[in-house]
Amino acid sequence: MKLTLKIWRQSGPTENGSFESHVLDDVSEDSSFLEMLDQLNEQLLKQGNEPVAFDHDCREGICGTCSLTINGYAHGPENSTTTCQLHMRKFNDGETVTIEPFRAKAFPVVRDLIVDRSAFDRIIQSGGFISVRTGSAPDGNSIPISKVDADKAMDAAACIGCGACVASCKNASAMLFTSAKAAHLNLLPQGQAEKDARVLNMVSTMDESGFGNCRNYGECSAACPKDISLDYIAKLNRDHAKAKIKKIFS
Amino acid sequence: MALTGLVLIGFVFVHMAGNLQVLAGQAQINAYAHSLQSLPWFILWGSRLFLLASVVIHAWTAYSLIIENRKARPDKNEVEVTKRAGWSSLKMGLTGSILLAFIVFHLLHFTIRTIYPEYAEMTTTVGSTADVEIHDAFSMILAGFKHDIISIFYVVAMFLLCRHLAHGFSSVFQSIGLRTEAWQGKLDLIASGYAWLIFAGFSIIPISVLAQKHGLYEFYDPSFFVSEASEKTNTSNLLNNES
């Protein structure tokens, strides 16, 4: 199939970016979106041009490294799919595909389609962990956890931290990411000791990083490749309110 | 945002229930209006200030959020798409701003009465228990809604309120952390039902006045609509005589 690619090019974080168009002939329907970009880069290199920089790692939908806003959709128009798992058969022959970086003030562009998502790492560093004594492994099942809680925590832990929630949010809010990362630990007994501090710190780091505010549109969950539920945002709001009230009275 | 929203969600229902007494006739609404007006000053002004503060805080937070959110996403996508959010959700700022303007107009119209100062002088003994002159809320409402443009503006504003509530009411549960996926559908349905109830309850008053004015249906005592009609016939008679 033949495609026209309208791609965002930006040579550095402080430079102004703009769109560049390239025509790519003979794209296999069976190739993934990233393989199609590899094909474009080979073509650009042969022509003596600078290849397009884009993020990728595992290419099997579990690492959260690939990004890209494709035709306006974070990770493309397919539901529950990362860019690396999106295949070219979902596009039409002769189509113009617009490819942009994830856009948010908290995700500055490094180069072309690569954005700096270290704001997510800072949120994790501020509370997305539990403090444990290191040493030999604890006995299995020494702390009983109900199946219901284990499942909910596992669903939250499915978040791969790709940032599609921020990119798809009209307000570049990181509530879905932060709520999933907080809920995953807050739901388990091991997470209880630091629960209040975790919620307060993660939310304040999120706010300081320049993410927007949640307005309950639900665009984040709709774009999420791992279908993280809006329930976790409600839970984060609930846990945050509780922690704040406790802080006032302590 | 959510807390002031909840206050206002509750207020519109009480306000609507109060207003609907217009349909029960002059005595009923005048007595109700008088009972509100004669509340002890600290309760009356306490509630007025509480409501006013709720509106101001609600609007202030909303505008600050909008400004912060614009800063959080300074560059627009070349292709902007929306997967899930509906019109009411996306246009909260627009509907809210129009409602803010409506609230100012509505207060000047019926509460402070600067737009038509003569409304303040409308008094009657109908609806008064002690047989003293009280404010004639009934005549004021009828006079107010006999203007086609004003009535249409009220109905449009109530439609926008309906859309604002549809997102706002369901959103409250999310913001205070009570919504879960299992309840989401039910809560959205409750919010939507509530929004349409408020729309119907408020709109029926301007619509009924207009309907009677244009001779479609008799909701109220026809004597309140006579003067205009007779004036019209008088002028037409005069014109006929002259010709």
What is the CATH classification number for the domain harbouring A140? 1.10.1060.10
Q: Of the candidates A73, A93, A110, which is a domain's last residue? A: A110
- Burial (CB < 10 A; 0-12, 13-18, 19+), residue A120, is buried
Same domain for A133 and A157, yes or no, is yes
A133 and A89 inside one domain:
no
Chain A residue numbers touching B90 (CB-CB < 8 A): 170, 217
Residues 227-246 of A with CB under 8 A from B: 229-231, 233-241
Pairing of strands A3-9, A96-100: parallel
Q: How many Å apart are CA A246 and CA A197, to the nearest integer?
A: 11
Residue A183 backbone phi and psi in degrees, to 5? -65, -40
DSSP string for residues in B114-157:
-SSGGGGG-EESTT-SSS--EE-HHHHHHHHHTSHHHHHHHHHH
What region does A232 belong to: left with phi over 0, alpha with psi -120 to 50, or beta?
alpha
A33 and A89 in a single domain? The answer is yes
**CATH code of the domain containing A40:** 3.10.20.30
Min Cα separation B88/chain A (Å): 10
What does each C-alpha distance from B232 to B186, B226, B228 come to in angstroms?
53, 10, 6
What is the count of structural domains for chain A? 2
User: Dihedral sign, CA of A136, A139, A142, A144?
Assistant: positive
What three-state secondary structure class fits A70?
A: strand
Q: Tell me which of A176 and A142 has the higher pLDDT.
A: A176
Name every chain B residue with its beta carbon within 8 A of the beta carbon of A235.
177
Q: Which of A105, A218, A234 sits opposite B71 (nearest CB)?
A: A105
Final residue of a structural domain among A110, A137, A170: A110
Residue A194, SS3 per DSSP: coil
Compute, in degrees rounded to 10, the torsion defined by CA atoms A166, A168, A170, A174. -20
Residues of A in contact with B62 (CB under 8 A): none
> Between chains, do A171 and B72 touch, taking CB under 8 Å as contact?
yes
Do the Cβ atoms of B81 and A72 come within 8 Å? yes
Is A120 near chain B, with CB under 8 Å? Answer: no
Domain end residue (candidates: A110, A126, A153):
A110
Average pLDDT over residues A110-129: 98
Residue A95 contacts residue A29 (beta carbons within 8 Å): no
Taking a contact as any Cβ pair under 8 Å apart, which residues of chain B between 224 and 243 contact chain A? none
CB contact residues (below 8 A), chain A span 38-77, against chain B: 69, 71-73
Task: Return the CATH class of domain B2-71+90-229.
Answer: mainly alpha
Question: What is the pLDDT at residue B130?
Answer: 79
Nearest CA to A19 among A33, A34, A4? A4
pTM above 0.80, yes or no: yes
Q: Between chains, do B174 and A71 touch, taking CB under 8 Å as contact?
A: no
**Nearest-CA distance B146 → chain A (Å):** 39
Which residues of chain B carry a pLDDT beneath 50?
Answer: 235-236, 238, 241-243
Over residues A176-203, the mean pLDDT reads 97
Same domain, A128 and A233: yes
Q: B178 and A238 in contact by Cβ < 8 A?
A: yes
- Give the residue among A58, A60, A27, A62 at the shortest CA–CA distance from A42: A27
Q: Both A237 and A139 in a single domain?
A: yes
Contact state of A170 with B84 under an 8 Å Cβ cutoff:
no
Residue of B68, B84, B181 with shortest CB distance to A231: B181
Residues A39 and A100 in one domain: yes
Contact A104 B69 (CB under 8 A): no
* Burial environment of residue A142 by CB neighbours within 10 A (0 to 12, 13 to 18, 19 or more): exposed
Kindly state whether residues A221 and A148 are assigned to the same domain.
Answer: yes
Residue B106 has what pLDDT?
97
Q: Which pair of structure tokens corresponds to residue A52? A: 């397009």
A32 and A146 belong to one structural domain:
no
- For residues A82 and A139, membership in a common domain is answered with no
Using the beta-carbon criterion (under 8 Å), do A223 and B83 form an inter-chain contact? Answer: yes
Instruction: Name chain A contacts of B76, Cβ cutoff 8 Å.
Output: 103
The number of CA neighbours under 13 Å toward the Cβ of B31 is: 12
Alpha-helical segments (H) within chain B: 2-19, 26-37, 41-72, 87-90, 92-106, 137-145, 148-175, 181-213, 223-242
Residues of B in contact with A237 (CB under 8 A): 174-177
Q: Do A86 and A200 belong together in one domain?
A: no
Alpha-carbon distances of B223 from A12, A233, B229, rounded to whole Å:
78, 58, 10
Contact B84 A217 (CB under 8 A): yes
Nearest to A203 by CA among A224, A174, A226: A174
Clarify whether residues A141 and A58 are in a common domain. no
Cβ-defined contact of B177 to A238 (cutoff 8 Å): yes
**For A151-161, how does the pLDDT look when each residue is reduced to its tens digit (9 = 90+)?**
999 999 999 99
Q: Which of B17, B233, B29, B24 is nearest to B225 (CA)?
A: B233
Distance of CA B191 to the CA centre of its chain: 18
Q: For residue A42, what are its two tokens?
A: 């080979």
Residue B227, pLDDT score: 61
Helix, strand, or coil (residue B211): helix
pLDDT band at A235 (very low <50, low <70, confident <90, very high): very high
Euclidean distance between CA atoms A120 and A106, whole angstroms: 9
Structural domain of A46: 3-110
